[in-house]
Amino acid sequence: MIASIQGSGLTGQRARDRLIERLRAEGIGDERVLTAMRQVPRHLFIDEGLSSRAYEDTALPIGNSQTISQPWVVARMTQALLEPVHPALPPPRRVLEIGTGSGYQAAVLSLLVEQVYTIERIDELLRGARKRFRQLGLKNITTRHADGRVGWPEHAPFDAIIVTAAGADVEVELLAQLHPDGVLVAPVGPPAAQVLQRWRNTEQGWAAQDLDAVSFVPLLPGVV
Ligand code: SAH
């Protein structure tokens, strides 16, 4: 459940609906993802001065040199995260996110899974995200101010892990905190050549499938 926040005009339900139709036309087929994104008011996750652009399919600045991801990328990652590794498996219940940023991706996930754990290294951004979770009545998101590259061992194993900043590779520590039937989705590679990867367990061990070319801010060490 999400508290209903009325926008109007460029921030209203009609603007959100148009974005959803665009995502559908661009290949997002998972109705659960589209329904969740229809409900989350993205304009509340960015600066008021930019809210007229909230339902454009574009990444936008959120301060501290960081960005809220493009809606298509959020949809693509969420869809890849929900897709089970065997058809008989239930959807993920407990999900870890690295890179809370504005909190938008975590809010979308919170409507789809039981519990979201999310880690952010920049305290100022995390404070903003927490405020939005409260405002929207999202109670199943647990946050932490830390370097997320080492995951959150106290709450492991996770059914799924989503990394929303790009590293040179996927940290083995994160894969170690994933349930054997789990999925990890992360952008990997240098700024000009990032690819979205979906990791899962195979008979040969953890293996990645390349999904799409993407452009994320870098995964950085330490906290601010
Ligand atoms: N999921 C976010 C996207 C934020 S951009 C959203 O929906 O808005 C990526 C975020 O990852 C930034 O806020 C950045 O500060 C954070 N980040 C980068 N390296 C990190 C690390 N090692 N641990 C935790 N967060 C990190």
Per-residue model confidence as pLDDT tens digits over 54-93: 999 999 999 999 999 999 999 999 999 999 999 999 999 9
Q: Which of 69, 102, 110, 215 is catalytic?
A: 69
Q: What's the pLDDT score for residue 191?
A: 85
Q: What's the pLDDT score for residue 215?
A: 94
CA triple 73-74-77, angle to 5 deg = 80
What CATH number does domain 59-214 carry, 1.10.357.10, 1.10.240.10, 3.40.50.150, 3.30.390.50? 3.40.50.150
Write out the two tokens for 223: 């906290």
Q: What's the pLDDT score for residue 143?
A: 98
Coil vs helix vs strand at 95:
strand
69 part of the active site: yes
Q: What is the mean pLDDT of each run of 10 residues along the chain (224 residues)?
A: 78 94 98 98 96 96 96 98 94 98 98 98 98 98 98 98 97 96 97 95 95 96 97
The mean of the pLDDT values for the chain is 96
- The model scores a pTM over 0.95: yes
Q: How many angstroms is it from 87 CA to the middle of ligand 1?
A: 31
Residues having CB within 6 Å of any atom of ligand 1: 66-69, 98-99, 101-102, 104-105, 119-122, 125, 147-149, 164-165, 217, 219-220
CA distance 36 to 55: 14
CA distance 100 to 117: 9
- The domain segmentation of the chain, as residue ranges, is 59-214
From the alpha carbon of 221, which atom of ligand 1 is closest? 22
Q: What's the pLDDT score for residue 148?
A: 98
